[in-house]
C-alpha cells in the first residue's frame, strides 16, 4: 500500500485567491454591465524591457550553431551572471561574495520551497503574521508544524505585525531556529530600518538560528536609510540566507529567474553539535535535484545589468510606485489609515471601523466595483486590514480611487 506524506493533510486549502475569484465571477454574472477594477493581484503588468528580449533572442540563435550551442549548464548557474550579481547587487554596497555563494534558480518560489530540505525537522519556525503564505505552507508540508486550529498551525511561532508595533516584528520570547523575514514586505508594503534588522541578526547570532530573508521587492526601496540586503548588517553572513528575484523588478514572473545567497560562513549543526557548511549542503541539494535554469533565461537576466535596461526597470518601478502613491494619498484624503506603499508596490489599509476584512471586500466589490485582497487571508493578524496593489494601470488606479472616494467620502 502506498502511503502518503500526511503533513499535506494539515494544509488549509489556499482558499484566498480561489474565494476572491469565485466572488468576482458571481458578481460579474449578476451584473454583466458593470466594470470592475482589479487591484488585488501580486503580479507585474508592464512588459519586459526590449534589450532583455534581444539578449534572449541572441542566446536562442547561439543554440542553433554547432560552435556556440550549449547543453546542460552548471546546476547552480553560469559564472557570467553570478559575476554581474556580485558586482552590481553587492559590491556596490560594500559586500563581497565569491561565485560559489550565489545560486541561480528559476525564481525564489522554488528556493524558498526547497531550502527546508537542508534543515532538521525539529527546528522551531517563526513567521510574521500576516505573512507571504509560502514560508508557512512549505514548513507544514515538510512536517515542522502541528495541526491547524483557530487560524494557526500548532508549533509555529507567529510574530504579529500591526499598526501598534508599526509593522516591525518583535523578537520572540522563546528560542526559535528558523526565522522568515520579508522586507520590503508583501503583503503589508512596510519596511525595516538597519537598526531594527540588526536586532534580528544579533538575536540569530546569540541563538544559533538562521534568518531566511526574502528580498523580492528590494528594487522598490526609495528611502536611503532602508537596507537593500540583510548583509548590510554586520555579522549577517554567519546567520542569513537571502533570496532575490528578477520577477518583481525586471518583470520575470513569467520568464523565471532569481537567486539565493548562501554565504560560506553559514553553518548548521548536527545533533552532536558538529558544525556543517550550509553552502555545501545547498550546493549538494541543488546539484542533485535540479539541472539549473536555461542558458537563454540567464542571458536575459544578465541584460538586467546594462545601463539601458536598468533605466527601463527604474521607469517601470516608478510607474507602479506612482500608482501606490495615488492609492495611498487618495485614501488618506478621505480618512483611511494606510501603511506601506512607500518602498513597496503594496498599500495596506485599515478597513473602516467595525468591519471585517471580508465584509469590506464584499462592500468594495458590490458597491464600488473594486477587487482587493482581504488581510485575513495572510494570517489572523491581518483581520481588519486590506491590501491594494500598484500593479494596475495608472488610468484604472485613478478611476478606482475616485470611485472609492465618492463612496466613502465622509
Ligand atoms: C512574488 C514573490 C516571490 C516569488 O518570486 P519568484 O522569483 O517569482 O518565484 C517570493 N516572495 C515574495 C514575498 C513575493 O511577493
CA distance 296 to 301: 9
Full-model pTM: 0.97
CA distance 333 to 42: 25
- Give Cβ neighbours of residue 97 (< 8 Å, ≥ 6 apart): 86, 90, 261, 263
Domains of the chain in sequence order: 6-47+311-408 (3.90.1150.10), 53-307 (3.40.640.10)
Which residue's CA is the nearest one to ligand 1's atom 13? 186
CA dihedral 374, 379, 385, 388 (to 10 degrees): -50
Indicate if the pLDDT at residue 15 is higher than 90: no
Distance (Å) from CA 218 to ligand 1 centroid: 11
Indicate if the pLDDT at residue 348 is higher than 90: yes
Which residue's CA is the nearest one to ligand 1's atom 2? 216
Among 219, 220, 247, 391, which is best to mutate for testing ligand 1, by the most ligand atoms less than 8 A from CB?
247
**Could you read off the pLDDT of 144-163 as tens digits, one per residue?**
999 999 999 999 999 999 99
**Could you read off the pLDDT of 169-181 as tens digits, one per residue?**
999 999 999 999 9
Which residue's CA is the nearest one to ligand 1's atom 11? 216
Task: Give the model's pLDDT for residue 42.
Answer: 85
Task: Give the model's pLDDT for residue 410.
Answer: 80
Distance (Å) from CA 321 to ligand 1 centroid: 18
CA distance 67 to 57: 17
CA distance 88 to 84: 6
The percent of residues above 90 in pLDDT, for the chain, comes to: 97
Task: Give the model's pLDDT for residue 20.
Answer: 94
CA distance 73 to 65: 17
Among 48, 106, 109, 348, which is best to mutate for testing ligand 1, by the most ligand atoms less than 8 A from CB?
109
CA distance 249 to 304: 9
Distances (CA, A) of 23 to 11, 16, 334, 362: 23, 11, 27, 8
CA distance 346 to 372: 11
Interval 129-140 mean pLDDT: 96
> What is the number of the ligand 1 atom nearest to the C-alpha of 182?
13
Indicate if the pLDDT at residue 352 is higher than 90: yes
Distance (Å) from CA 297 to ligand 1 centroid: 17
Distance (Å) from CA 188 to ligand 1 centroid: 14
Which residue's CA is the nearest one to ligand 1's atom 7? 107
- The DSSP code sequence of 348-392 is EEEPSTT--HHHHHHHIIIII-EE-EEGGGG-GGGTTEEEEES-S
CA distance 408 to 183: 31
**Could you read off the pLDDT of 285-327 as tens digits, one per residue?**
999 999 999 999 999 999 999 999 999 999 999 999 999 999 9
The percent of residues above 70 in pLDDT, for the chain, comes to: 100
Distance (Å) from CA 109 to ligand 1 centroid: 6
In contact, 397 and 353? CB cutoff 8 Å: no
Q: Where are the beta strands (DSSP E) in 101-206?
A: 102-105, 125-129, 148-149, 152-153, 156-160, 178-182
Binding-site residues, ligand 1, Cβ < 6 A:
42, 107-109, 132, 182, 186, 214, 216, 245, 247-248, 253, 258
- The DSSP code sequence of 167-194 is T-PPPPSS--SEEEEESS-TTT-----H
Of 41, 26, 48, give the one whose Cα is nearest residue 256.
48
Distance (Å) from CA 364 to ligand 1 centroid: 27
Amino acid at each position: 500500500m502506498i502511503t502518503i506524506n500526511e503533513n499535506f493533510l494539515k494544509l488549509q486549502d489556499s482558499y484566498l485567491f480561489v474565494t476572491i475569484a469565485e466572488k468576482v465571477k458571481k458578481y460579474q454574472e449578476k451584473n454583466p454591465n458593470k466594470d470592475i477594477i482589479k487591484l488585488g493581484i501580486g503580479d507585474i503588468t508592464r512588459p519586459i524591457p526590449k534589450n532583455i528580449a534581444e539578449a534572449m533572442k541572441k542566446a536562442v540563435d547561439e543554440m542553433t550553431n554547432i560552435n556556440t550551442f550549449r547543453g546542460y549548464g552548471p546546476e547552480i548557474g553560469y559564472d557570467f551572471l553570478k559575476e554581474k550579481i556580485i558586482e552590481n547587487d553587492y559590491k556596490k554596497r560594500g559586500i563581497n561574495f565569491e561565485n560559489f555563494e550565489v545560486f541561480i534558480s528559476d525564481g525564489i518560489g522554488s528556493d524558498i520551497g526547497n531550502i527546508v530540505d537542508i534543515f532538521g525537522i525539529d527546528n522551531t519556525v517563526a513567521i510574521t503574521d500576516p505573512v507571504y503564505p509560502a514560508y508557512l505552507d512549505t514548513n507544514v508540508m515538510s512536517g515542522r508544524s502541528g495541526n491547524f486550529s483557530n487560524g494557526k498551525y500548532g508549533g509555529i511561532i507567529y510574530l504579529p505585525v500591526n499598526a501598534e508595533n508599526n509593522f516591525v516584528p518583535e523578537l520572540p520570547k522563546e528560542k526559535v531556529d528558523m526565522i522568515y523575514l520579508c522586507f520590503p514586505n508583501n503583503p503589508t508594503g512596510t519596511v525595516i530600518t538597519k537598526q531594527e534588522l540588526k536586532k534580528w541578526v544579533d538575536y540569530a547570532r546569540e541563538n544559533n538560528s538562521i534568518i531566511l530573508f526574502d528580498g523580492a521587492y528590494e528594487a522598490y526601496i526609495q528611502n536611503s536609510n532602508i537596507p537593500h540586503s540583510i548583509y548590510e548588517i554586520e555579522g549577517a553572513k554567519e546567520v542569513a540566507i537571502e533570496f532575490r528575484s528578477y520577477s518583481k523588478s525586471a518583470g520575470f514572473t513569467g520568464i523565471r529567474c532569481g537567486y539565493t545567497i548562501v554565504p560560506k560562513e553559514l553553518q548548521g549543526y548536527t545533533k552532536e553539535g558538529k558544525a556543517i557548511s550550509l553552502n555545501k549542503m545547498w550546493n549538494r541539494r541543488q546539484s542533485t535535484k535540479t539541472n539549473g535554469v536555461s542558458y537563454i533565461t540567464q542571458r536575459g537576466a544578465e541584460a538586467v545589468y546594462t545601463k539601458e535596461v536598468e533605466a527601463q526597470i527604474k521607469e517601470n518601478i516608478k510607474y507602479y510606485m506612482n500608482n501606490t502613491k495615488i492609492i495611498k494619498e487618495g485614501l488618506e484624503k478621505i480618512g483611511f489609515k494606510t501603511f506601506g506603499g512607500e518602498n513597496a508596490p503594496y498599500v495596506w489599509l485599515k478597513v473602516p471601523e467595525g468591519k471585517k476584512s471580508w465584509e469590506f471586500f464584499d462592500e468594495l466589490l458590490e458597491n464600488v466595483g473594486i477587487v482587493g485582497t482581504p488581510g485575513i487571508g495572510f494570517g489572523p493578524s491581518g483581520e481588519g486590514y486590506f491590501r491594494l496593489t500598484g500593479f494596475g494601470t495608472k488610468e484604472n488606479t485613478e478611476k478606482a480611487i475616485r470611485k472609492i472616494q465618492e463612496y466613502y467620502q465622509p
